[in-house]
Structure 1
Amino acid sequence: MALLEVTAATGLSVVAGTAVTALLCVGPRQVSRAMTDVDDRVREVAPYLGPALALLAAKQLTQGYRLRLSRALDWDITDALYALEGGFVAALQDLTPEATLEFFTVSYMIGFAFLLVAAPVTYFLSPGQGRRHLKELLVAYMLNYAVGTVCYTLFISYGPRNHLETVSGLMYRAYPQTQDLTAAVASNTNVFPSLHTSLSVAVVAVAWRSRRTHPRWTPVAAAVAAAVVFSTMYLGIHWLSDVVAGVALGVVSVAVAARIVDRAESSSVAAHGGERGDPTVRTGDD
């Protein structure tokens, strides 16, 4: 029952936040206009959306097998991460006011899900280059999940809350019901790199690339992402090393995604006799 309640609360919050964001960042008129050609938009992004959903489904379906393989390999890097940074997370918890716990819990649980959903919805509903940015984002999502899945399978890594007595699992202690949802989608050995960080950074990186066409969305994405990234350490879930690796993965994934989309779109234009315009123009780099 706790899992159902937390999932429902998270889902409703994300839907409401996404709807408000679309109205503010895209506009009621454009949202209405987008509904008139939704079929064309879906067909345009389907070659990217389909593989992204398939990869996510495969990741969840193979979670048990990958966890058993990871334990069989037994490459535990937890001590190495601790040796690299020591008590950084413990110090961070000590320095952060306890009154912020609820805010960062909401950031971790809802803010992250909001970013993952609101970003593609915003681009899908937008005119012009919106779909180009959506394609880049979907490819970046796939790259993040692919790299994260490989790392989580190869390496066992326990977060600070599970490794150090000086670090508290603040969110799970104050809101134990949240652990039901997080445990349903990931193991507590899946911390290096932080996908909460990498995916949030990827959203911000694409938002920065689209800042001229989506000026309202960029600061929203940046603010929410900053709270999510900080929350992963403050709540004792990730090491600083996980976050640094996540930032690097997020930035690189978007750079690679832009190149992949460039090539895919160029090939598509060539196949259609150039009817979509000049494929050499990199419209995402604004």
Structure 2
Amino acid sequence: MALLEVTAATGLSVMAGTAVTALLCVGPRQVSRAMTDVDERIRGVAPYLGAAVALLAVKQLTQGYRLRFSRALGWNITDELYALEGGFVAGLQDVTPEATLEFFTVSYMVGFAFLLVAGPITYFLSAGRRQRHLKELLVAYMLNYAVGTVCYTLFISYGPRNHLETVSGLMYRVYPQTQDLTAAVASNTNVFPSLHTSLSVAVVAVAWRSRRTHPRWTPVAAAVAVAVVFSTMYLGIHWLTDVVAGAALGVGSVFAAVRIVDRAESRSLTARDDTHEEPAGRAGDD
């Protein structure tokens, strides 16, 4: 019952936030215009969207197998992460006011989901039928999940709250119902790198690329992403090392996504031009 309530509350909050963002960052007129050619827009991004959905489905369906393989492999890097940074997260919790706990809990649970949904929706509704930024973002999502899945399978890593007595799992202690939702989508060994960080950074990187056409979305994405990234450490879920690796993955995924989309789109245009070539003239034609 708690899982259903948390999922519903998170989903409704994300939907409301996305709707407000679309109206503010895209505009009512453009949203209305997008609805008139929604089928064409969907067809344009269908290969990318289909690949992303398929990857997520495979990731969820194989989660149990990957977890068993990871435990059998037994490459636990938690001590190495602690040796690398020590008590940074514990110190961060000490200096952050406890009054901010609710804000950072919402940032971690709702803000992250909001970024993942609002980014693609904003680009989907925007002017321009090629949907270039949407395609880049979807490819970046896939690269993040692919790399994250490989790392989570190869490496066992427990977060600070599970490794240090000086670090409290603040969100799960004060709001234990949130653990039902997080446990349903990930294992507590899925720590290095932080996908909350990498995906948030990827959204901001694409937002920065689109800042001229979406000037209002860029600061919104950046502000939410900063809160999400900070929350992963303040709540005791991720190490600083996880966050640094996640940030690098996020930037790298967008860098790679731009080039992948460039190649895919150039091939698509070439194939389209070949299909619409003028027929060869017959003998005697001028």
The letter of the residue matching 1:80 is: E
Contact 2:44 2:130 in 1 (8 A): no
Contact 1:269 1:275 in 2 (8 A): no
Q: Give yes or no for the alignment of 1:40 onto 2:35.
A: no
Distance 1:193 1:38 in 2: 36
Distance 2:102 2:19 in 1: 23
Q: How does 1:1-16 map to 2 (within 5 A)?
A: 1-16=1-16
Distance 1:239 1:207 in 2: 26
Residue of structure 1 equivalent to 2:217: 217
Residue of structure 2 equivalent to 1:282: none
Distance 1:110 1:224 in 2: 10
Scaled by the length of structure 2, the TM-score of the pair is: 0.95
C-alpha distance 40-130 of structure 1, shift in aligned 2 (>3 A): closer
Residue of structure 2 equivalent to 1:108: 108
Q: Give yes or no for the alignment of 1:256 onto 2:256.
A: yes
Residue of structure 1 equivalent to 2:191: 191
Structure 2 residues not aligned, in runs of 5+: 277-286
Scaled by the length of structure 1, the TM-score of the pair is: 0.95
Structure 1 residues 59-103: Cα deviation after superposition (integer angstroms, max 9, x where no partner): 111111100000000000000000000000000000000000000
Residue of structure 2 equivalent to 1:237: 237
Distance 2:202 2:249 in 1: 8
Contact 1:197 1:243 in 2 (8 A): yes
The letter of the residue matching 1:204 is: V
The letter of the residue matching 1:220 is: V
Distance 2:114 2:130 in 1: 18
**Post-superposition offset of 1:129:** 7.0
Distance 1:227 1:89 in 2: 15
**Post-superposition offset of 1:273:** 1.0
The letter of the residue matching 1:195 is: L
Distance 1:152 1:138 in 2: 21
Structure possessing the higher radius of gyration over alpha carbons: 2
Distance 2:135 2:220 in 1: 20
Distance 2:241 2:36 in 1: 46
Q: How does 1:5-154 map to 2 (within 5 A)?
A: 5-128=5-128, 131-154=131-154
Distance 2:200 2:141 in 1: 10
C-alpha distance 158-220 of structure 1, shift in aligned 2 (>3 A): same
Taking only aligned residues, the RMSD between alpha carbons, in angstroms, comes to 1.2
Residue of structure 2 equivalent to 1:281: none
Q: Give yes or no for the alignment of 1:170 onto 2:175.
A: no
Between the aligned residues of both structures, percent identity stands at 87
Residue of structure 1 equivalent to 2:247: 247
**Post-superposition offset of 1:172:** 0.2
Distance 2:190 2:99 in 1: 28
Contact 1:123 1:130 in 2 (8 A): no
Point out 4+ residue stretches in structure 1 off by more than 6 angstroms. none
Distance 2:27 2:130 in 1: 13
C-alpha distance 154-55 of structure 1, shift in aligned 2 (>3 A): same
Distance 2:215 2:36 in 1: 24
Distance 2:242 2:262 in 1: 30
Contact 1:140 1:254 in 2 (8 A): yes
